[in-house]
Amino acid sequence: MNIGRYENSNVDVKIKSIVATILGDGLFEDITRICERYSEEEDDFREYDVYKIRSANGIKILKKTSEREVTNYANYLQGHGFKVPAFYGNYNDGKDIWIVIESIEGDDLRDMTNEQAIAAADSLSEIQNTFWNCSDTERFDVSGHKYFPSEMLMNFIDVAVNRIGSQLEEFECYA
């Protein structure tokens, strides 16, 4: 057994139906589930609620998500030229929320380098600066409370600091 990320082609009919609802029936060729094996032990693996969709138009990702992420893509991230995956749509069955976005190959962010963290922070700063001077009426209401892009930036910073915290001390602005 290989340790690390792998794809499982045994995909539930419900997932295929969700993809067909979002993208259109027959507009995909193959769907695989993203999984990860942690050791040589038979049951030491995880099946993520993330699926790779292959189609004539490229590779996309279906993943279970939150209403907040759907709202961020629909209201903030699309149509502004930001360096984010393209948003193809979402599906909500009343229990689970799913989103289809562009697949971008690259390093796993769990293994984020200082350079990647800085590039991600730059991208998030660009998003924040786009909306910084918007009046309240130009912002969007999410689930009964105002949600501002600055919350996205702060959430990212919290994650980045937790992942590479001790390494940040070598940068003068964090010393």
- Residues 93-109: pLDDT tens digits? 999 999 999 998 877 77
pTM for the model stands at 0.72
Task: Give rounded-to-5 percent helix, strand, coil for the chain.
Answer: 40, 25, 30
Residue ranges covered by each domain of the chain: 4-102, 109-174
What pLDDT is recorded for position 161? 58
What pLDDT is recorded for position 81? 86
Lowest mean pLDDT among 1-5, 25-29, 45-49, 161-165: 161-165
d(CA 50, CA 103): 11
Mean local confidence (pLDDT), 43-68: 93
Neighbours of 69 (CB within 10 A): 17
Mean local confidence (pLDDT), 58-79: 91
What pLDDT is recorded for position 25? 78
Out of 2.30.30, 3.30.200, 1.10.3470, 3.30.160, select the CATH number for domain 4-102: 3.30.200
- Half-sphere exposure for 162 (CA within 13 Å, toward CB): 8
pLDDT score of 145 more than 90: no
Burial class for 132, CB neighbours closer than 10 Å (0-12, 13-18, 19+): exposed
pLDDT score of 173 more than 70: no
pLDDT score of 51 more than 90: yes
pLDDT score of 143 more than 50: no
Question: Mean pLDDT in the chain?
Answer: 80
